Amino acid sequence: MKSLTTSRTVMNLYSRILVLVSVFVVIPLFADLPTAVAPSTKPKSGDWIGLISGYIKDGALVLGLAVACVGFLWVAYVGFAKFNEARQGKAEWAEVGVLAVVGAVVLIFASYLLTEAAGVFA
């Protein structure tokens, strides 16, 4: 029983030393961190709500860009799939043309909506 208590004491001592050493190793690393980039709305100094609101607006714009990128990729994928079907004789070439026109309209509309959203959020 005494051996178990001694082993727990030694493990406790090792864990405390490890925590102490890791604190002294990690603290200097925080000094080299860059400052955070301010949001595009440039809130006043000390305005935490304006700062958080700016980050939320910037995040919404990034999310909108991500959704638009997925839309661009989707139109490209469907276009390639329809082109492949037309080459194999499973679809008409007119369908490829219609898809190209409709896809272009969708992409132009998505770009327009992104431009308007950026103006609203700015």
CA–CA gap between residue 101 and residue 95 (Å, rounded): 10
CA–CA gap between residue 92 and residue 29 (Å, rounded): 63
Count how many residues are written for the chain.
122
* pLDDT for residue 39: 83
Q: Is the pLDDT of residue 36 over 90?
A: no
Same domain, 54 and 23: no
Domain coverage including residue 82:
39-121
Residue-wise pLDDT tens digits, 50-91:
888 888 888 888 888 898 899 899 999 999 999 999 999 999
Same domain, 26 and 43: no
Structure token digits, residue 105: 């309209």
Q: Is the pLDDT of residue 22 over 80?
A: no
Same domain, 29 and 76: no
Same domain, 51 and 86: yes
